[in-house]
A = this chain, B = another copy of it.
Amino acid sequence: MTQKKNVTFDDIAKYTNFSKTTISRYFNNPDSLTLKNQEIIAQALIDLDYKENKVARILANGKTEFIGIIIPNLILHYYSEMLSQILATYEKFGYKFLVFAGNEQEETERRYIQELLAYKIEGLIILSHTIPSDELAELPIPIVAIEREDKHICSVNSDNYSGGWQAAGLLHRQNCDMLLHINSPSAPSVPAYGRIQGFLDYCKGHQLKHQLILREMNSAHESIQAHLTETLTEIEQNYKGLRKGIFISNDTQANVLLNLLFRKYGRLPEDILLVGFDNSPVSREAVIPISTVGQQIDKLAYEAVSLLVEQMNERKKRRPAPLTEPVHKIIPTVLYERDTTASLANLLHSSTFLF
């Protein structure tokens, strides 16, 4: 490897016969030069093989072009897909992402945020649940939350309430006698709580038999599997002979439940219908495609970065007008009807059904 001497402003000035001040203006305020002079300097940079030192530029103009991301984990397919979509906005906005998977360790997340601030990140996207939003609102940079408690900070969330309503509606249309919703206990301040409320309101409004099953599950596969094995046994015992419509809080869990049923019956029994949430890749890649309430992950990611960039740009203005109230954007959910709610497909799979 050859370590060439760095090309300096002096070198560029000598090569172009401009002053060092002119070269400096090219980097910090290019539009103050004529287009012709800009072109001459740009060509000189190529000729001299000039390597830009962004760190030096940051000191000059304060723009690091860094955004921090704090995500709970990359195990849930929803999160790895979301991260993928956020990273893809590099092509559109040019921001670079410093990524941290917090694994729900509140103190580690706090320490990491302090590190990110020391690196002069311009903004933060946060998906993890640990640090309350009133604390986050005190940080000296713009923040956008995705699908977490967001009372005091800007956020982009799915329309969770409509999502819960859509799921219950689909199971109702497919003639389920008993509607069940499996979720983790969550506070009404968390956006995902809307799924529970939407489901309950639909069932009550349509006078449907229903049950809400709340169980604390962590993101480890073994924990989800153990809990859902128990839950499934209870459901099958309690509602024998009924056509059961199960709405479960995410596709990762829907996939585990579907696999448990396939291991037991070799198929999805005709008296169980299943709807997940997220439309994360696992819903299409499951043993049979899972019906799901789709979060538009690409749109959530894009809108989150976009909302953040708006605020970061605002702060760069000579007279910034920061937001007085946090902005909350809502992205519609999209219902995907697939094989786990297709009653005809259920019947055709059934070995006991006779025409």
Chain B CB within 8 A of A185 CB: no
List A26-75 residues whose CB lies under 8 Å from chain B.
Answer: 51-56, 58-59, 64, 73-75
Interface string of A87-105 (1 = CB under 8 A from B): 1101100001111110100
Could you say which of A14-22, A169-177, A262-270, A271-279 contacts chain B? A262-270
Closest chain B residue, CB of each to CB of A262 = B287
Query: Which of the residues B96, B97, B285 comes within 8 Å of A259, measured between beta carbons?
Result: B285
For chain A residues 310-355, which have a beta carbon within 8 Å of chain B? 322, 349
Contact partners of A284 in chain B: CB under 8 A: 221
Stretch of A115-123, A238-246, A301-309 with 4 or more beta carbons under 8 angstroms from chain B: A115-123
Partner of A55, one of B1, B59, B259, B322: B59
Whether A55 and B52, one on each chain, are in contact in the complex, defined by CB atoms closer than 8 angstroms, is: no
CB distance from A257 to the nearest CB of B (A): 12
Contact between chains at B84 and A119 (CB < 8 Å): no
- Which chain A residues (113-136) contact chain B, with CB distance < 8 Å? 115-120
Closest chain-B Cβ to A330's Cβ sits at a distance in Å of: 24
For the complex, is A83 an interface residue (Cβ under 8 Å from B)? yes
User: Which residues of chain A have a CB within 8 Å of any CB of chain B?
Assistant: 1, 3, 51-56, 58-59, 64, 73-75, 80-81, 83-84, 87-88, 90-91, 96-101, 103, 108, 112, 115-120, 137-140, 221, 255-256, 258-259, 262-263, 265-267, 281, 284-288, 322, 349
Find out whether the CB atom of B263 lies under 8 angstroms from the CB atom of A266: no
Is B256 a contact of A285 with CB atoms below 8 Å? yes
- The closest CB in chain B to the CB of A52 belongs to B118
A55–B119 touching, CB < 8 Å: yes
- Cβ A140 vs Cβ B1 within 8 A: yes
CB distance from A58 to the nearest CB of B (A): 5
Cβ of A73: which chain B residues have Cβ within 8 Å of it? 84
B100 touches A98 (CB 8 A): no
From the candidates B52, B59, B74, B91, name the one contacting A81 in the complex (CB within 8 A): B74
**What is the CA–CA distance of A120 and B64 in the complex, to the nearest angstrom?**
12
| CB-defined contacts of A285 to chain B, threshold 8 Å | 221, 255-256, 259
Could you tell me if A101 and B74 are in contact, using CB atoms closer than 8 angstroms? no
Q: Are B120 and A101 in contact (CB under 8 A)?
A: no
What are 20 A-B pairs with beta-carbon distances under 8 A? A1-B139, A1-B322, A52-B118, A54-B119, A55-B120, A59-B59, A73-B84, A74-B80, A74-B83, A74-B87, A75-B281, A96-B116, A97-B98, A99-B99, A221-B285, A262-B262, A262-B266, A262-B287, A263-B287, A266-B349
